[in-house]
Amino acid sequence: METFESLVRAEFTPENTYLNTASNALLPSRTVTALAEAARMRAGGRSLAPLYEDVEASRAAYALLAGVPVERVATGCTAALYTALVAASLPPGADVLTAEDDFASVVNAFHVRGDLKVRAVPLERLADSVRPDTALVAVSAVQSADGRIADLPALREAARAHGARTYVDFSQGAGWLDMDAGAFDYSVSITYKWLLGPHGVAFLVVPEDFGDLRPVQAGWVAAEVPWESCYGPVTELARSARRFDASPALFAFAGLRPSLELVGELGVDAVRAHDLALAGRFRAGLAEAGHTPVPAPGSPIVSVPGLGHRQAELAESGIQVSDRAGHLRASFHLYNTAGDVDRLLDALTG
């Protein structure tokens, strides 16, 4: 019987100490194989129908992870695209509440509108800052810079109390964090971090009634019958969230399907337990060395103030981490081991 460790070791052969999943994940072996086969399919002139099947299989797998019916899931290429779609749904003068220093893809589209009232408050004050006139609250479930986790239950209740809609970016959580995407009006996630996929895919979850969204980006793939809607205006949009689909990056989905299958085989609970154990080991080692990371309980992302300048030196020694706003950011995922943690600690303290 395959164990968590045997499954992981069969899929990953890192060439260095890779502690940078919050930027990009390593690709599983099965994903690399699928990408190569997709390229051969295209090069050989074979039918691409199997790649469109990968799109729908990936949509279904993400819906399962997000805890929503597949009919509520749209597919696109970037989180920023879907933030723009949400921003376009708001009336002029709408009050939009965001977290200070959140990732640009989550907030920038609201600013470039130019006619919205965009507020930014500290993450810990987000729920308390929802007002009766707030139209939308937009936030990352997990902060990219330092791994802090938003109090999503408190935010949900505050938004409901004041009639505000919610938009949550799960990009730094999907794959290890329990998602309850149905609890929010809109949510989004890219897939090249904790979901182990290639670049080029994002998923949007919408309400059953689509909320206030208008499919302003709709093309032929957003039709109820796409292959009969290639020319002229689309006469009938999809009766599901597919009306918000963008034309799929087929190679990306060819790789994403096996990546999501692996996440399903391992189980989010097991992945989370593994990742958090390593993050806890790193935090304990930092404490012994006199370093205090940004408080982010329950997160596999650990950000250490004042050590960002060590990133280049660590990379030269074969340890991949990030420099974010002067902080050294290490992020731990299923292919990492206690040995990886200890190598990083030794490099920082030696």
- Per residue in 313-345, pLDDT (tens digit) is 999 999 999 999 899 999 999 999 999 999 999
How do residues 81-124 score in pLDDT, each as one tens digit?
Answer: 999 999 999 999 999 999 999 999 999 999 999 999 999 999 99
**How far is CA 238 from its chain centroid?**
25
Query: Cα separations (Å) of 84 from 70, 137, 153, 288?
Result: 22, 14, 25, 45
Q: Please say whether the beta carbons of 285 and 301 come within 8 A.
A: no
Mean pLDDT, the chain, whole residue set: 97
Global pTM value? 0.96
pLDDT of residue 350: 81
CA separation for the pair 76, 82 (Å, rounded):
8
Rg (CA), the chain: 21
Q: Which residues pair with 73 in a beta bridge?
A: 205
Average pLDDT over residues 11-29: 97
Average pLDDT over residues 33-56: 96
pLDDT of residue 325: 85
CA separation for the pair 140, 171 (Å, rounded):
8
Q: Would you call 58 exposed, middle or buried from its count of C-beta atoms within 10 A (0-12, 13-18, 19+)? A: buried
How do residues 116-162 score in pLDDT, each as one tens digit?
Answer: 999 999 999 999 999 999 999 999 999 999 999 999 999 999 999 99
How do residues 263-285 score in pLDDT, each as one tens digit?
Answer: 999 999 999 999 999 999 999 99
Eight-state DSSP code of residue 20: B
Residues 6 or more apart whose Cβ sits within 8 Å of residue 14: 26, 335
Q: Which residue intervals of the chain are DSSP H helices?
A: 4-11, 29-43, 49-66, 79-88, 104-113, 152-162, 250-266, 268-288, 311-316, 338-349
With both helix axes pointing from N to C terminus, report the angle between 79-88 and 104-113 in degrees, rounded to the nearest 10. 30
Eight-state DSSP code of residue 329: E
The bridge status of strand 319-320 relative to strand 17-18 is parallel
Q: Count other Cβ atoms within 10 Å, centred on residue 23.
A: 15
Q: Hey, what domains does the chain have and what are their CATH numbers?
A: 4-27+267-349 (3.90.1150.10), 40-264 (3.40.640.10)
Q: Please say whether the beta carbons of 123 and 145 come within 8 A.
A: no
